[in-house]
């Protein structure tokens, strides 16, 4: 098996062998012996059969392949695919599908995301833009109340059909599998289908996230029926089943994603968007959506060139617009490269990190949007020359004042201007992230979302998944009067995102893969973790576990409580920085992001890393653990 499926074997040969062998393993009955290249192995029972979930582990080191995600059921689903001979792409789709079951408030069939892939055979990084799109009837003033001429209330926009974009996640899965995978969608969905059917054990985080959404969930009959069983919050330790989602996955497995984009699932989505199932007696104003069947049939997941910059001799690849993640992380790194950051002077390192992020966000807000609708200066934003000009704003003894004005990366005007700009607009804090690596050295970094924790709060009746509220990522009105805004709504347009799935190469080979949920704090979480690892000499686990700060061209920097109690906070106060406690997003805890990452160690082993505490702790797994 290894000889046939090596990175040197032609792609067609690898697929032909792998599809027959791996699909047979994944689709066979539980515990049935399966022949893999002459060896007899047992296909293990899926952990979603109602048994306890796999134990959570924040760090796992070894070989043979790795998966890290926020949930142990999902990580196990991906690892099982790797164990049976699948590659990193196969495992990523299986993990993502399982996250749609156990993390339904963060991601799923009703959402979208960005997929970054390193192919060990070609040594090339490629990406898929699976961002949701606005329906054809969307207009630039769709979020403006015509009776007042003012934007509608944000809460009214979120909990509505109006906020629902055309889902991109299923199209992303199929495109990734067709371009780089070795198994069909039906095999990749098998573990998640069984998990939805048999159920998973409710944990504290799932109950807490349900409680955070309880009021709005009760306002939609299909959502309350699924997520508030018998009218109550799910009980910790009980089994949560989702037969509607199992049915949806089976239909996708049988008919392909055309079932969503041209078939019955799509018709159910459109019906729900246009006429949300509002509960009798609810006083919530729920606006109908604009989506039609033709919007679904027109959707495509787009292959895009990744963003690329160099940093301290490393190549950093991420997601290009429509996401702002790659350009904003990249610009900030380019600014920081003009300074020497050292663990010997942690104060100045943190100060420069905050200032570089502030500057990059000022430019991001002005220039980044869907490149099909705006002339986004991606190359200019990532130029070393522009970063050097912007770096002139940073002083070692005083913080900048926000909101800072943007600069034109194409050379019009002074990049050293300290003028006033506009604050970063609100972006929903949910989302989830996963990383995978296989035995051949291919890697995936994949961030997917339904926007808010709980999305639009509208579940498609009988289908078991929540619809996104991604269109609230558009600017409701221009951020600055008289200045073009690249992120206003338009028909078919993708709203700007901050998702930043990232892969770092050293000498052309993968070193790190990283990403995080958290809305606009994704950018700062990825950036700070890279600075911690590359500049401050932390190990990857230390870099992930460290207290986080998020400066996004706002007056005050959001910070986790552990930092607010630190000596560095007092020292940064003296430089003029202002801090506020980070808001509670995924759970009642004040925290920023929830990283999933991996590193190829110098001795050839893989190190998978997940959060130890944030969002209840994540799940890092390798096939052959060897510390």
Tell me which residues are annotated as active site: 431
Dist CA 82 CA 192 (whole Å)? 15
Q: Give the list of residues 6+ apart from residue 507 with CB closer than 8 angstroms, or none.
A: none
> In this structure, what are the phi and psi dihedrals at residue 556, rounded to the nearest 5 degrees?
-110, 145
The DSSP bridge pattern shows strands 502-506 and 443-449 to be: unpaired
Give the side-chain half-sphere CA count within 13 A for 186: 14
The DSSP bridge pattern shows strands 557-559 and 579-581 to be: parallel
CB 25 within 8 A of CB 587: no
Q: What are 225's two structure tokens?
A: 């029926």
The DSSP bridge pattern shows strands 124-130 and 302-304 to be: antiparallel
Dist CA 487 CA 425 (whole Å)? 10
Dist CA 403 CA 554 (whole Å)? 6
Largest Cα–Cα separation, the chain: 72
Alpha-carbon separation of residue 437 from 23, 593, 606 (angstroms)? 19, 22, 8
CB 140 within 8 A of CB 490: yes
Dist CA 436 CA 95 (whole Å)? 9
Q: What are 143's two structure tokens?
A: 């979020």
Q: What are 411's two structure tokens?
A: 């050379």
CB 570 within 8 A of CB 576: no
Dist CA 353 CA 575 (whole Å)? 14
3-state secondary structure 343-371: HHHHHHHHHHHHHHHHHHHHHHHHHCCCC
* Of the candidates 495, 615, 480, the residue with the CA atom closest to the CA atom of residue 70: 615
Burial of 219-253, coded b for 16+ CB within 10 Å and e otherwise, reads bbbbbbbbbbeeeebbeeeeebbbebbbbbbbbbb
Spell out where 109-201 has E strands: 112-119, 124-130, 144-145, 150-151, 200-201
Write down the H helix ranges in 256-292: 258-261, 264-274
Q: Give the list of residues 6+ apart from residue 458 with CB closer than 8 angstroms, or none.
A: 159, 161, 164, 220, 222, 223, 272, 273, 276, 277, 466, 467
Q: Which residues pair with 151 in a beta bridge?
A: 144
Cα dihedral sign, 243-245-246-250: positive
């Amino acid at each position: 098996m290894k000889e046939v499926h090596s990175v040197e074997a032609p792609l067609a040969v690898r697929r032909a062998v792998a599809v027959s062998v791996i699909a047979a393993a994944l689709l066979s009955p539980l515990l049935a012996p399966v022949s893999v290249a002459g060896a007899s192995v047992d296909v293990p029972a899926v952990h979603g059969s109602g048994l306890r979930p796999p134990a959570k582990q924040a760090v796992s080191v070894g070989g043979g392949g790795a998966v890290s995600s926020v949930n142990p059921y999902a990580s196990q689903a991906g690892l099982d695919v790797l164990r049976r001979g699948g590659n990193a792409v196969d495992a990523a789709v299986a993990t993502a599908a399982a996250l749609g079951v156990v993390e339904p408030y963060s991601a799923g069939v009703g959402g979208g995301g960005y997929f970054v892939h390193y192919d060990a055979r070609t040594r090339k990084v490629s990406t898929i833009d699976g961002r949701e799109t606005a329906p054809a009837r969307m207009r630039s003033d769709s979020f403006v109340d015509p009776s007042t001429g003012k934007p509608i209330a944000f809460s009214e926009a979120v909990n509505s059909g109006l906020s629902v974009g055309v889902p991109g996640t299923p199209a992303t899965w199929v495109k990734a599998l067709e371009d780089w995978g070795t198994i069909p969608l039906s095999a990749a969905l098998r573990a998640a289908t069984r998990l939805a059917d048999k159920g998973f054990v409710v944990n504290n985080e799932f109950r807490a996230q349900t409680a955070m959404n309880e009021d709005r969930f009760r306002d939609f009959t299909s959502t309350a029926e699924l997520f508030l069983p018998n009218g109550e919050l799910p009980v910790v330790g009980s089994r949560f089943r989702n037969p509607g989602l199992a049915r949806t996955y089976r239909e996708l497995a049988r008919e392909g994603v055309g079932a969503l984009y041209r078939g019955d699932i799509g018709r159910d989505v459109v019906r729900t968007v246009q006429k949300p199932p509002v509960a009798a007696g609810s006083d919530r104003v729920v606006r109908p959506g604009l989506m039609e069947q033709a919007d679904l049939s027109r959707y495509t997941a787009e292959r895009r060139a990744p963003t690329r910059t160099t940093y301290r001799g490393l190549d950093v690849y991420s997601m290009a617009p429509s996401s702002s993640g790659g350009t904003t992380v990249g610009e900030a790194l380019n600014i920081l490269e003009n300074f020497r950051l050292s663990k010997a002077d942690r104060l100045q390192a943190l100060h420069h990190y905050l200032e570089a992020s502030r500057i990059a966000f000022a430019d991001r807000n002005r220039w980044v949007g869907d490149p099909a609708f705006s002339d986004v200066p991606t190359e200019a934003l990532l130029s070393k020359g522009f970063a050097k000009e912007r770096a002139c704003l940073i002083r070692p003894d005083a913080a900048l004042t926000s909101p800072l004005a943007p600069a034109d990366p194409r050379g019009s005007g002074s990049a050293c201007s300290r003028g006033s700009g506009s604050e970063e607009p609100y972006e929903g804090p949910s989302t989830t992230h996963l990383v995978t690596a296989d035995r051949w050295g291919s890697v995936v970094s994949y961030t997917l979302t339904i926007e808010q924790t709980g999305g639009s709060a509208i579940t498609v009746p009988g289908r078991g998944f929540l619809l996104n509220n991604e269109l609230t990522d558009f600017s409701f009105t221009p951020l600055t009067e008289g200045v073009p805004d690249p992120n206003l709504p338009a028909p078919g347009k993708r709203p700007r995102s901050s998702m930043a799935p990232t892969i770092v190469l050293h000498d052309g080979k993968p070193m790190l893969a990283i990403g995080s949920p958290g809305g606009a704090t994704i950018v700062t979480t990825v950036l700070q973790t890279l600075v911690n690892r590359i500049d401050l000499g932390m190990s990857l686990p230390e870099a992930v576990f460290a207290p986080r700060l998020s400066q996004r061209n706002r007056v005050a920097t959001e910070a986790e409580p552990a930092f607010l109690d630190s000596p560095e906070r007092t020292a940064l106060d003296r430089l003029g920085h202002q801090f506020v406690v980070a808001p509670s997003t995924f759970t009642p805890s004040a925290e920023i992001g929830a990283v999933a990452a991996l590193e190829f160690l110098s001795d050839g082993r893989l190190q998978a890393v997940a959060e130890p505490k944030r969002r209840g702790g994540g799940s890092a797994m390798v096939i052959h653990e060897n510390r």
